[in-house]
Amino acid sequence: MKRFFSLSGVFLALVILGVLPFIVFGALVGWTGMQKVAVYGFFVCLYATVLNGRRLGMAMAVGFAIFAVIGTQVHASPLGGAMVVGMSAVLIVCLATRGYAQAMLFAAMFIPYPIATPPQPWAGASMTSLTYLAAVLGATFIAGLWGLVLGGLIHDKLPAAAPVPGASRQDALIAGVLLVPVAAAITYLAMSAFPQAKWVWLLATIYSLIKPSPDLNWVMTRDMVVGTVVGVGASIGILSIGMPTGVMMLVGSFVMCGALGLRMMGKPYWVYAGVVTAAAVLMTGAGMDPLEALEDRLVFTLAGALGAVTLGAGITWLIHLAHIHRDVRTEATASA
């Protein structure tokens, strides 16, 4: 418990330094729409850097900024949105072979948000203007770089950890065959059928519940689903207080600190999943009507949980079949 509060205190101080400047700047220049996307970029790069070092953090800063800009331009195109989300799923699969699946899964939770709710331009600007695109790119990239800098400070203080082994190319390919089309199809159908709803929470739930592992632990999966639902309920209660968007972003950032602290301590994944879900709801649901957020989030959380369990079971089953086939073939070759 002492270590948790120590880690959370460090994250809290860094978030005040990292998140508050973008919220204040957005309010001062009259462009509050950039606050959310900047905070997303900050956390994506902070998390990647703390977990895997500055090299991956820099790649995330560049990649997330590009995804954010493209996302703003496909917000009215189901096909375009599906392609963007599908590409992010491809990156999950590719980075899994390098042991970076966890960092990319976290980034993939936030990539759909600029598609569903792109930052509104300032007065007199157009969402298709080069000035607007450059501003989104610059704000997201600078926030990512700031997350890289602060995340690097934390990374240097943590004890050296053994690199996470990457998935085999065969296992990653099997996961990709299921994950990529499912993510793309969900995006296309959601943007076509209910574009006004917070459909992105469906994908966020799936990504938060999928643990980068070839084995499916049903007890852990059940606990993660329960933790996620509890996190949703707690966050909706805070949303009902009706704080200003900027303040709610800060509250969500503080909760995200606790989630990252739990993850760094190696606490059970379901605990992390529940807390990070609550943080995501607070940051992305800021400004929404609490009852609307409750309805959308609970419905899409349960649907996402079902999708995550089904997807995880399918990936596990296919990987095990592939391993059995490989072992049989190896034995046959050895006995020949």
The predicted-structure confidence for 24-66, as pLDDT tens digits, reads as follows 888 787 787 788 889 899 989 998 998 899 999 999 999 999 9
Q: How far apart are CA 264 and CA 180, in angstroms?
A: 28
Q: Which of 119, 143, 111, 120 is nearest to 17 (CA)?
A: 143
Mean pLDDT of 124-137: 90
Number of domains in the chain: 1
Cβ neighbours of residue 335 closer than 8 Å, sequence gap 6 or more: none
- Length of the chain equals 336
* pLDDT number for residue 250: 77
Q: How far apart are CA 38 and CA 334, in angstroms?
A: 56
The predicted-structure confidence for 55-103, as pLDDT tens digits, reads as follows 999 999 999 999 999 999 999 999 999 999 999 999 998 998 898 988 9
Q: Where are the alpha helices (DSSP H) in the chain?
A: 2-18, 20-29, 33-52, 54-73, 78-96, 101-110, 113-116, 130-157, 169-193, 200-209, 218-239, 245-264, 269-284, 290-335
The predicted-structure confidence for 229-277, as pLDDT tens digits, reads as follows 777 777 766 766 766 777 777 777 778 777 777 776 767 767 777 777 7
Full domain range(s) for residue 250: 2-335
Average pLDDT value for the chain? 79
